[in-house]
Structure 1
Amino acid sequence: MNQNPGAKDARPLTFRDSEGLRRLLTRLGSAGQDAWRRDPEASELMAFTAQRYAALARKHGLDPWEAATAAFVVMRAAATVRADDPWAVVTQAVKITCIAEERSQGLLCSVDKARRAEVSVHHDAERFSDREHELPEYHPAFRSAPADEVLEVAGQHRVVASAVHDAVTFFVLLGWPESRSHEGVELVCGRLADAPSRISAFDTLRRDVTTRVLLDLPQRAWTTMLRALLGSCDDVREQTMRGRGILYRLISGESVRDLLGDEDLVEPVVVNAPRMLS
C-alpha cells in the first residue's frame, strides 16, 4: 500500500490545540458580541473547558463552571490571542482565579480584594469560639504600641497611599485608561512589597504573561508601565532619581507636575499608551 507517511499527522486543527484555540478565538472576536452565544463551536469549547478544569475547580472547592467562567473572561482578552501558547495563558489565569475565589470565601471578601497581596496574606475568618483562649489574649489588634511608633507608621502609610494615587493620576493624564492604570499600579506595588528588591520585582513582572493578559495590556505598554514605575535596571542609571522610577520619586517628595515636566519619562508613556476602552 502506498500511503503518505505524513498523513497520520495531518489531523484537523481543533480548539483542543493552542493554534486551534487561537483560530476559534480570532473568529469569535471578529464575529460580533453575540458570537459566543450563537456559535455551536463556542458552546463545545466552554463544555470542554469546564471538563478540562473540573479537577482544578474541585481542588479549590469550586464548581467546574466557575472555572469555565474564569477561562471565558481571559479567552476574550486580545492578549490571549496574541500569546505564544493561548491554552497556557488560560490555564494559568484559571489557576490564579480559583485560588483567589477560595481565598475570598475564607477571608469573606470580594475576589478582587483576595487577589491583592496585602489582603491574601491574612488568615481565613474564624469564630471566636474556635479558639480556647479569649480574643484579647492572642489577637495583635489588642496589643498597644508606643504612641510615637503608631504616629510614624501612620505617616508612612499616608505617604505611600499618596504616591500610589499620584502614580495612577500620572498615567491617566497621559492617556491611559483609568481602570488599567489603577489595577496596574496596585498590582506592581503589591508585587514590589513581596519582592526582595526593586530589580527582582521588575524582572518577575516583565516575564509574567498571565498578569499582563489579565490587565489586557500589550507587551510594549506593560514594559513601559513597569519601567516608568520601577525605573531602569541599567547599572549606570539605577541609582539616579530617574533610574529608580516614579514611585520612588513621588515618595521622595516630587509631584505629578514635576514628573509631567520630564520629557524623557513622559514620551514613552504617551507613545505606548494602550489604545483601548477603559
Structure 2
Amino acid sequence: MTENTHTTTDNTTESGENFITSEGLRALLHRLHAAGPGAWEHDPTAAELMAFTAEKYAPLARKHGLDPWEAASAAFDVMRTTAARTAVDPWAVVTHAVRITCVFEERAQGLLCSVHQARRPHVSAFHDPERFSDRDNPLTDYHPAFQVTGDAPTTHDEGEGSSLSAHACTLAGSAVEDAIALFALLGWPPVTARAGVEHVCGALTKTGTRQATYEALRRDKHARALLDIPRASWTVLLKALLGNPHPAYAATTAGRGVLLRLLIGESLSVLLRDDDLILAISLAAPRASSGHRGGDEP
C-alpha cells in the first residue's frame, strides 16, 4: 500500500518555480545541476524544496520511527542523481527511494548495525536482538536455539556405562583391600587396619577430596576413640592413606598417598619398596590391644 505523501499547499516560489509537480521538480533539478557546486547550499528555492520534502515525508519517517529530516536527507541524496533528473516522474523515484531508506534505517536500528549492512538480505533476515528479560516467559523456555534434543542412549551405551561403573567399583574395592593388606603386613593388627582404612575411605566418599578428608579426620577424637587407635598411629594412618597435605609434597609419592597410588596403577609390591612409607607405617603400628593409651592422649 502506497503512503499518501502529497500535500495540498501551493509551493510556487517567488521565481515562479513550482516543484510540487513532477515537471517543476525536474526543471529545478536540472537548473541546480547546471549551476554547479554550491547551488544546493546557496539557492533559496533549494532550501524551500528541502523544507517541503521534510514536511512531505514526515508521516513516512514517523511510521518507521525516524525524524522527518532523516527522510529529507535521503530525498536530497536521490535528487542529486541522474535517475531523478531524467525520470518521467521524479517525485515517484524520490518517494520510492525514501521509503526503502526508511525501511532499512529502521532495520539497522533494530539490528544494531549500519544501514549498509541492513540492506544485505543475509543480514536483514535476522530478527531484532532481545534481552532475556524483555519477555514474561524466558526466551530459553521456548526458543528452539536453546532446546537440547538428543537421541536416547542405546543399549550399547548403557552397557558400556555400566561396564565402566563396575570397573571403577572393582578398582576402588581392590585399592581398599590392598591398603588394608599393606598395613597388616607392616605390623598393624588386621582388625584395626581394616577398621581404620574403611573409616577413612567412607569419609573420603562423603567429602570428595583428600585434603578435606584429612582436615576433618585429624581432629576427629570420637572416631579415633571408637577405632581404638593412638593419636600418633592415627596421624600416620591418615598421612599414609591420603597423602601429606603440605603443598611441598603435592607432586611426590608422600603427597599422593597410598589410596591414590593404588588407583593410578601402582601395585602392593611397589609400595613395599618405598622405604620411607614402610618405616613410617611400621613404627606407628599400634599394639594388638591399645585400650590403655597412657600418655598418648593430648
TM-score normalised according to structure 2 size: 0.44
- Structure showing greater relative contact order (alpha-carbon pairs closer than 8 Å, 6 or more residues apart): 1
TM-score normalised according to structure 1 size: 0.47
